[in-house]
Structure 1
Amino acid sequence: MRLHVADHPLVAHKLTVLRDIGTPSPTFRLLVDELVTLLAYEATRHIRTEPIEIVTPVAPTTGIKLANPHPIVVPILRAGLGMLDGMTRVLPTAEVGFLGMQRDEQTLEAITYANRLPDDLSGRQCFLLDPMLATGGTLVAAIDYLLQRGARDVTAVCLLAAPEGLAVVEEFVGDRADVKIVVAAVDERLNEKAYIVPGLGDAGDRLYGIV
């Protein structure tokens, strides 16, 4: 597993506003969208391309285009849905799948309740979207879901991560696949309720309200 922490003043600024308890939901949603767009540049740094011959207004030249099969973006519902527009702004030709997972607050284990993914992900670069990498349970379950369908190149884009969750993902992945985690920051720890500290609270609630 590889970890990339986006070290950029704009990332730090937007994340600071997201953390603030006084930031209202509309502003929170807008900043998540902007922050994910910045993280997406880092997440796609090694996206597969192939050469293409084109003609400019001046002369022929060789450029590059995204290679086939196109990458697939998979937001983990519900909070990951708030990251989708920011990611597809950078990858407009990517296919989009959906994975519905939620954490059981008693066992802290991830429960899968819905999926909309191809049966075969062999050869596909997969980008998972989930705002918070806390205990690692949800992300491990999502990565395992993709690996079972043949994926071997998975990048997870998260706003925040806790050291405990990163350790869980690293132990699970081992050398099974090429997995990369891209985050805006790695925070201090988890509290007794398995929330990231200092964190930003429940990302889904702050995006969409408590339902």
Structure 2
Amino acid sequence: MLVHNLSESNSIFNQYLAEIRDEHIQKDPLRFRRNLQRLGEVIAYEISKTLDYKVTNVKTPLGIAKVPTLTQQPVLSTILRAGLPVQQGFLNIFDKAENAFISAYRKYDEEGEFHIEFEYLASPDLNEKVVIISDPMLASGASMEIGYKAMLQKGTPSHVHLVAIIASRKGVEYVREHIDGSNVTLWVGAIDEEMTVNSYIVPGLGDAGDLAFGPKSDSH
């Protein structure tokens, strides 16, 4: 599995990344959501370079322009709810794309341990399509694995791009071990080395869903 870490090169991407991490800037949910969108837009642009194009004749007021255009828009998928701003960023770029949504959450037991519970999937047919699955945080890697395997219920994609804004080193290793990388590429904004016992990335940024949409009840 090929892994792209966008923070390894200097670009405006790192400015947006710094802002979503900043505990003071995080206090503005609108700005937090918009920065997640902008990060999604940058990654979407990078992924667009890997897609297939054909030359299209475009009639202008003065003649014909030959322009490479996408042969097929990707299917955009995200894991609710934290992934919605990133999904919107991708949709801002791939504005004619089909969309899919995965519902999964952490379910805690009486001892405080948790596992990822999969609930719901809404998706178009995926056969021979390029699929992009996004989630802001790749912590343990379990949510991404469940989302990926859930999507395969809807067909066999030609290629899958997995996207996380911030990943833990363990999460990256987990995904590489548990997902067949023959037609999968992983894109991350940054890789952090530590993770708490509750699978929160350190330094990370906190709970992306709460920062974007407000605190949630722990009961399901």
SS in 2 for 1:79: coil
Aligned pairs, how many?
Answer: 208
Alpha-carbon RMSD across the aligned residues, in angstroms, is 1.7
The 5 Å alignment of 1:24-173 reads 24=27, 25-68=29-72, 70-105=73-108, 106-118=112-124, 120-148=125-153, 149-173=155-179
Q: Which residue of 2 aligns with 1:5?
A: 5
CA 53–204 in structure 1, closer or farther in 2 if over 3 Å, else same: same
User: Hey, what's the Cα distance between the residues in 1 that align with 2:96 and 2:10?
Assistant: 27
Alpha-carbon displacement from aligned partner over 1:8-32 (angstroms, at most 9, x marks no partner): 3322222112112222122211211
Q: Which runs of 5+ in 1 are unaligned?
A: none
CA 107–48 in structure 1, closer or farther in 2 if over 3 Å, else same: farther
Q: Which residue of 2 aligns with 1:189?
A: 194
Q: Give 1:95 deviation, angstroms.
A: 0.8
User: Hey, what's the Cα distance between the residues in 2 that align with 1:168 and 1:87?
Assistant: 25
SS in 2 for 1:65: strand
Alpha-carbon displacement from aligned partner over 1:96-139 (angstroms, at most 9, x marks no partner): 11111112345543211111112x31111001110000000000
Q: Give 1:56 deviation, angstroms.
A: 3.2
Alpha-carbon displacement from aligned partner over 1:42-96 (angstroms, at most 9, x marks no partner): 122212222222333343343222214x311011101111212211111001111
Q: Is the 8 A contact 1:40 1:157 kept in 2?
A: no
SS in 2 for 1:11: helix
TM-score of the superposition, structure 2-length normalised?
0.87
TM-score of the superposition, structure 1-length normalised?
0.91
SS in 2 for 1:102: strand
Q: Is the 8 A contact 1:103 1:111 kept in 2?
A: yes
Q: Is the 8 A contact 2:44 2:93 kept in 1?
A: yes
Greater Cα offset, 124-133 or 8-17: 8-17
User: Hey, what's the Cα distance between the residues in 1 that align with 2:54 and 2:89?
Assistant: 24
Q: Which amino acid aligns with 1:5?
A: N
User: Hey, what's the Cα distance between the residues in 1 that align with 2:43 and 2:194?
Assistant: 22
User: Hey, what's the Cα distance between the residues in 1 that align with 2:106 and 2:51?
Assistant: 30
User: Hey, what's the Cα distance between the residues in 1 that align with 2:183 and 2:119?
Assistant: 26
User: Hey, what's the Cα distance between the residues in 2 that align with 1:64 and 1:71?
Assistant: 16
CA 66–162 in structure 1, closer or farther in 2 if over 3 Å, else same: same
User: Hey, what's the Cα distance between the residues in 2 that align with 1:153 and 1:207?
Assistant: 29
